[in-house]
Amino acid sequence: MTDAGGHISEKYDKIRRRVRVADYLSVAQIYLKDNFALERPLVFGDVKPRLLGHFGTCHGINVAYANLRFSEYFKMSDFVLGPGHGFPALNANLFLDQKLAEVDERATLDYDGMAHLCREFSWPGGFPSHASPMTPGVITEGGELGYALGAAFGLALGHPEKNVAVLIGDGELETATALASLNLVKLLGGPANGKVWPILHLNGYKISGPTIYGRKSDHELGSLFRGFGYMPIFIQDDTASSFQTALLKARGATHPFLILKSEKGFGSPKRHQDAHQVPLKNPKNDPKELKMLEKWLALYHFKMEDLYD
């Protein structure tokens, strides 16, 4: 993967690898019931009979999580996830961080564990398609949008040791709850409290419809967040160098508010409104779609050793 300007710098290799592997595992969870490391050409029998889950928002979530988790500028104590439908991404990262293994002994960081993760995703008796009480670290189930920002402030208030990152969906920020929670910044600050780092996940769509924030100019967005008392910081694209530059800037701000622009469905054969859920609908029966799925999975150059760092 190249960074802005087309050059590849080694500095952010770990971040890029995590995004690539978590993206691969997000696709694999939605589609595969066998051939999990693409060890041979994909056949119809490798594809799940019923395709459930949501890919559209996954890449942006993986970008945010990897950049926050492996940043040298930001020591994250908690990650609060808001965007509507990104469970394959969350589950992939919990698996890679071996948090899933703490509650599910079959989620080992090897081929069998990966097979378990994918096979059981959105399967009766297995992992649900959305965050649920069995998800490690879950605070609320997440079925109702709007609470991520409020929960993040709740974690930081009275806990000066906390550095809470919260990813807010642009659709989520249209809810009254999330919008009103922007005001909570006025309660923070001072030595008694921790810090909250909100990141707006601006992928321009809620489910398959356009978001209001996606239609605002940078000037309008910046003025809005400034008005609430934040320092808006735009992450220019979803590369590691842009994200880390933004985090470095945010470190010097009392109340940073990061804005991550990502393309909904990035990596998949469909984008934007066509990528929200399952971008390829029929790779189980359509040879052309099966080839498209194989090409899509191959894009991530997944190797088993990618799991181990």
User: Which C-beta is closer to ligand TPP: that of 35 or that of 67?
Assistant: 67
Query: What span, in angstroms and rounded, lies between the C-alpha atoms of 229 and 223?
Result: 10
Question: CA-to-CA distance for 141 and 104, rounded, in angstroms?
Answer: 19
Q: At what angle do helices 240-251 and 58-69 cross, to 10 degrees?
A: 50
Taking the least distance from each CB to ligand TPP, the nearer of 36 and 266 is 266
Q: Which residue has the tokens 């999975």?
A: 297
Q: How far is the CB of 177 from ligand TPP (least distance, A)?
A: 7
Question: In the complex, which residues of this chain contact ligand TPP (CB under 6 A)?
Answer: 56-57, 83-85, 143-146, 169-172, 175, 201, 203, 205-207, 211
Smallest gap from Cβ 305 to ligand TPP, in A, equals 31
Q: Which is nearer to ligand TPP, 249 or 272 (CB)?
A: 272
Q: Is the dihedral of CA 121, 122, 128, 134 positive or negative?
A: negative
Residue in the block written with tokens 């842009």 = 242
Q: How far is the CB of 222 from ligand TPP (least distance, A)?
A: 19
What's the half-sphere exposure (Cβ side, CA atoms, 13 Å) at 98? 6
Query: Between residues 30 and 47, which has the closer beta carbon with respect to ligand TPP?
Result: 30
Owner of token pair 């808006």: 232
CA nearest neighbour of 81 among 91, 95, 71? 91
Q: Are strands 205-206 and 209-210 parallel, antiparallel or unpaired?
A: antiparallel
Integer angstrom CA distances of residue 71 from 11, 14, 66, 241, 246: 11, 10, 8, 11, 11
Strand order in the sheet with 231-235: 78-81, 163-169, 195-202, 256-261, 231-235
| Nearer to ligand TPP among residue 266 and residue 302 (C-beta) | 266
Q: Minimum Å distance from CB 10 to ligand TPP?
A: 31
Measured from each CB, the residue nearest to ligand TPP is: 169
For the CB of residue 22, give the shortest distance to ligand TPP in the complex, in Å. 16
Least separation in angstroms between CB 276 and ligand TPP: 6
Task: State how far the Cα of 226 lies from the Cα of 232, in Å rounded to an integer.
Answer: 6
CA triple 164-201-16, angle to 5 deg: 80
Of the pair 84, 256, the CB lying nearest ligand TPP is at: 84
In angstroms, give the least distance from the CB of 145 to ligand TPP: 4
For residue 301, how many other CB atoms are within 10 A of its CB?
12
Q: Cα 151 to the chain's mean position, in Å? A: 18
Q: How far is the CB of 171 from ligand TPP (least distance, A)?
A: 2
Nearer to ligand TPP, 56 or 194 (CB): 56
Minimum CB distance to ligand TPP smaller for 30 or for 114:
30
